[in-house]
Structure 1
Amino acid sequence: MPFNELGLSDKVLSAVTDAGYTEPTPIQAQAIPHVLARRDVLGLAQTGTGKTAAFVLPMLTLLEQGRARARMPRTLILEPTRELAAQVEENFVKYGKNHKLNVALLIGGVSFGDQDSKLLRGVDVLIATPGRLLDHVERGRLLLSGIEILVIDEADRMLDMGFIPDIERVCKLVPFTRQTLFFSATMPPEIQRLVSQFLSNPVQIEASRPSSTAANITQLLVACGREDHEKRDKLRDLIRGAENLQNGIIFCNRKRDVGVVHKSLQRHGFNVVALHGDMDQRSRMQALEQFRTGEATLLVASDVAARGLDIPAVSHVFNYDTPHHAEDYIHRIGRTGRAGRSGAAFTIVTHADVKSLAAIEKLIGNPIEWMNGQTLGDAPPREARSSSRGGERGGERGGERGEQRRGARPARRREERPQDERGHSERSHSHREEAPVAVASNVEELPRGNRPPRRERASAAPAPVETGPRPAPRAPVNPTTARRPQAERPHNDEPADTSHLPAFLLRPVKIKAG
């Protein structure tokens, strides 16, 4: 079915033709007629199938009639990340070049003043992240009572990022009569609850099985027994040995690892840029633009780049870390093989990633092939890492001497300490039964300067215990004498030193006669 049979306006069809598209994708062919009919839509399709155009094209047709008012946008599109929001804005600019629509972007990293000035002029299409949108609402600079169409894109990513309470709040602020469009690649139970609460009799469209991967993506697992420098070595080998590598995205689980891998690849001569959530908006957009234009061949990123980014020519995806959530694996490898192209996805797996790998294979319903048939059983386990690494680096860190200290010393101790029938050391028995207690007076017999060294004293036989008469005990103190007042105690003829007493205590005390 061509685009001209979907009910789109002539202006939209002209822009689509200029963009070079003739046939819609399955999700577009099924969703566009229902959106034009003002029905609530729940669209489920794997990433890279054109979900963005599935709601952008019919929205442009519907917005040809009407006019926006100040601080009251007509449509609202919620995106989980700044990059996705900026990408949707680019789609409106590309397909809406024949329309005179005001499009505003509310994301973090941009001053409130510039965004507020756009809202004051009136906005037909408002694209925002939930946090910045609610900031404008709380400041009283934005009213959502005029929303006609509400679009929630990448709803499962909203769930992962903790935006569901914000989504519920936004849905209560918009009119009850609005049209709601939900688009997502996966459908967890929490999203299903949100759909049943805020969508009215929606049309559910499944262009492909939820949580499935594209058939044109070659998926391979790469076994790696170590988790530090070995993973970076393995990553560089994969990049150098990849066939038909035009560009590639390297995904890491943590932002710290993004910086480590980025610097490591730079030191080894790779043309690479980094992208993660802690970067400022200008740096993020600059890195993404360098990768899109081909100025940078590799992009090291966190999961902020795993959802919805439309970079059609990505040939390879490298999972430096196996994703903790199985749904993230589908979104990561979906960055390649887009628009019918072929792609390749490599995932480095360590012994700590066994559970995550099992969850991924259970979600996609198929086992993933191991590269060259080498599984984790062929990689050294984590327990053997320290000993093997010490042997390999014996010249650098004293690995051989360390092995001698760790191996020879316990054997020598076992030889010097024969055991009895019960397994106890004979030395420990003799020490407890025969070792006499040393008397402190024996130590004083030898002058301090003539004492033997500590080791010789410890190995020498203990001195015999003296058996002479014990010294007489000290006479007990008379408690009566000890408790006498100071005036009654016997004292010598020397005067007491009273220099430390203040003067008022030395004044004589007058006692009245009774």
Structure 2
Amino acid sequence: MIKFSDLNLDPKVLKAVADTGYEKPTPIQEGAIPPALEGRDVLGIAQTGTGKTASFTLPMISMLARGRARARMPRSLVLCPTRELAAQVAENFDAYAKYVKLNKALLIGGVSFKEQEAVINRGADVLIATPGRLLDHFERGKLLLTGVQIMVVDEADRMLDMGFIPDIERIFSLTPFTRQTLFFSATMAPEIERITNTFLSNPARIEVARQATTSENITQSVVMFKGSRKDREGTEKRKLLRDLIESEGEKCKNAIIFCNRKVDVDTVAKSMKKYGLDAAAIHGDLEQSHRMRTLDGFRDGSLRFLVASDVAARGLDIPNVSHVFNYDVPSHAEDYVHRIGRTGRAGKKGTTIMICSPRDTRNLDDIEALVKHAIPRSGEPLPEDDAGEAVKAETPKPSRRSRSAKPKHEDKPKAEAAPKQAEAPAPEAKSEKSETKPEDKPQERNSDRNNDRNRDSGRSRSGGGSGKSVGLGDDMPAFIAKSFDERMG
């Protein structure tokens, strides 16, 4: 059985690894560390929670142990898609490099430029950054990338999803052609294959699990949900979430609740706190200091529930998450793999529950196609029609029928007609109308309508005259014809 001591790592790095309590490398670490130490490009593919961060951190520290960085010229570069992931990589670096004299710089948004510039000016052996903030420093003339020897792109597929391709291509162009490049990701889309063919030279490909697979330690389920009414769907869905948490009982020690939209993250967190559940929100619109405090509280156990957008779905190493609730079915199937990967880490058991409404069935089908197995369902069965038809069938048609029927039951036309009947001095006109036979009325109305049309051809349809009677047909009720006759008279 292979141990870390068999991987030719620096003795000081091995000592730091032993301090963390790890003895055996994970499959991705076992496969990626030897070629990385040889200076080869590496393409690592493994599901989340398998130790990809140590796969590039450990060989990087070993190779950089000798030498010293110059001011504003880092020796290595690690690119991360989110601030949280970058901060976590920095924590791993601190843990594994504590016996090696290496300087690191963390460049992420939400932190003062001056503080970051001061660290860069002292010389950074390892530069950990998000693409946007890195380019900001470069354009200010505070950073040079010509001394980069090792470049790492972590969560490469997420970089693509977030639209960082132009930034990544530019950053690659600023680094030396002779650099060593390491790509690590949980999924490998065809587009990533194209990018790796461009930027990597004969890489060692390490794929320790089938692409886009989920851990066998995770128990997955889907709860089928349909609101009673569209305006009550949100309230009922939040109640369902609380009921699911309550049904898990003591097994649910803590949990991450994922929502697709930031506004729903805030709403769900607020609702949970209202009903006595210790929850806090985290998403991209919050200040970095607030996000870090929330994550720290969740890690140390002082916060039980973390309601998050997908900003927290990638790369966060929180080893003891018992449950993941998908309040929404993710729009991208790959995000499901990353979301549920927050639980069941390091060989522990985990539970994930997803709420699926009728409109989400297509996304659910995409997820099952990606992970290549059906997810067990529970709750209400969904209708056979698609989501759009199911929603439309609930309200619009009855409401239009009720509106069209409403004038027939109103008393307003009768009320208007009553004063005219009282003022009419000619009783014979009244008797004449009462003696008119029903079969004669259509002919009289048609004749009157034609006369009115010729007389009032310049008047508006919405006004008086024939405008109101045009198109009513031969079966117009008598009381309506009466009101028209009196108005015209």
Displacement of 1:288: 0.7
2:226 aligns to what SS in structure 1? coil
Q: Name structure 1 gaps, 5 residues minimum.
A: 391-401, 414-425, 444-455, 467-514
In the alignment, what sits opposite 2:240?
234
In the alignment, what sits opposite 1:115?
116
2:360 is the alignment partner of 1:359: no
1:211 aligns to what SS in structure 2? coil
Describe the shift of the 1:465–1:382 C-alpha distance in structure 2 as closer, same or farther (beyond 3 A): closer
- The aligned runs of 1:298-317 (5 Å cut-off) are 298-317=305-324
In the alignment, what sits opposite 1:195?
196
In the alignment, what sits opposite 2:212?
211
User: 8 Å contact 1:225–1:382 — kept in the other structure?
Assistant: no
Distance 2:138 2:187 in 1: 30
Give the residue type in structure 2 aligned to 1:157: R
Cα RMSD over matched residues? 2.9
Distance 2:381 2:286 in 1: 36
The structure richer in helix per residue is: 2
In the alignment, what sits opposite 2:354?
347
Tell me which structure has the larger Cα radius of gyration: 1
Q: Please give the per-residue CA displacement for 1:380-403, whole angstroms capped at 9, x wherever unaligned.
A: 94345559xx9xxxxxxxxxxx99
Distance 1:431 1:132 in 2: 83
Displacement of 1:463: 5.2
Distance 1:235 1:143 in 2: 49
In the alignment, what sits opposite 1:462?
485
2:352 aligns to what SS in structure 1? strand
Displacement of 1:432: 5.3
2:485 aligns to what SS in structure 1? coil
Displacement of 1:458: 7.8
User: 8 Å contact 1:224–1:230 — kept in the other structure?
Assistant: no
Describe the shift of the 1:463–1:152 C-alpha distance in structure 2 as closer, same or farther (beyond 3 A): closer
Q: Please give the per-residue CA displacement for 1:72-111, whole angstroms capped at 9, x wherever unaligned.
A: 0000000000000000000011111111111100011111
2:73 aligns to what SS in structure 1? coil
Give the residue type in structure 1 aligned to 2:300: T
In the alignment, what sits opposite 1:63?
64
- The aligned runs of 1:352-501 (5 Å cut-off) are 352-371=359-378, 374-377=380-383, 381-383=390-392, 385-386=394-395, 433-435=446-448, 459-460=482-483, 462=485
- Size of the alignment, in residue pairs? 427
Displacement of 1:215: 0.8
Give the residue type in structure 2 aligned to 1:163: F
- The aligned runs of 1:47-58 (5 Å cut-off) are 47-58=48-59
User: 8 Å contact 1:77–1:128 — kept in the other structure?
Assistant: yes
Q: Please give the per-residue CA displacement for 1:153-197, whole angstroms capped at 9, x wherever unaligned.
A: 000000011001100111111001110000000011111111000
Distance 1:55 1:378 in 2: 48
Displacement of 1:377: 3.6
In the alignment, what sits opposite 2:28?
27
Describe the shift of the 1:457–1:363 C-alpha distance in structure 2 as closer, same or farther (beyond 3 A): closer
Describe the shift of the 1:429–1:268 C-alpha distance in structure 2 as closer, same or farther (beyond 3 A): farther
Give the residue type in structure 1 aligned to 2:282: L
Describe the shift of the 1:351–1:119 C-alpha distance in structure 2 as closer, same or farther (beyond 3 A): same
User: 8 Å contact 1:273–1:291 — kept in the other structure?
Assistant: no
Q: Name structure 2 gaps, 5 residues minimum.
A: 228-232, 411-438, 457-463, 465-478
Distance 2:199 2:145 in 1: 16
Describe the shift of the 1:23–1:429 C-alpha distance in structure 2 as closer, same or farther (beyond 3 A): farther
Distance 1:268 1:464 in 2: 63
Displacement of 1:355: 1.2
1:462 aligns to what SS in structure 2? helix
Moved more, 232-241 or 148-157: 232-241
2:302 is the alignment partner of 1:295: yes
Distance 2:377 2:355 in 1: 10
Give the residue type in structure 2 aligned to 1:236: R
Name the TM-score, length of structure 2 as normaliser: 0.82
User: 8 Å contact 1:311–1:335 — kept in the other structure?
Assistant: yes
2:167 is the alignment partner of 1:163: no
Displacement of 1:462: 2.1
2:277 is the alignment partner of 1:282: no
Distance 1:68 1:44 in 2: 30
Describe the shift of the 1:121–1:383 C-alpha distance in structure 2 as closer, same or farther (beyond 3 A): same
User: 8 Å contact 2:358–2:383 — kept in the other structure?
Assistant: no
2:325 aligns to what SS in structure 1? strand
Q: 2:328 aligns with which of 298, 321, 327?
A: 321
In the alignment, what sits opposite 1:41?
42
Name the TM-score, length of structure 1 as normaliser: 0.78
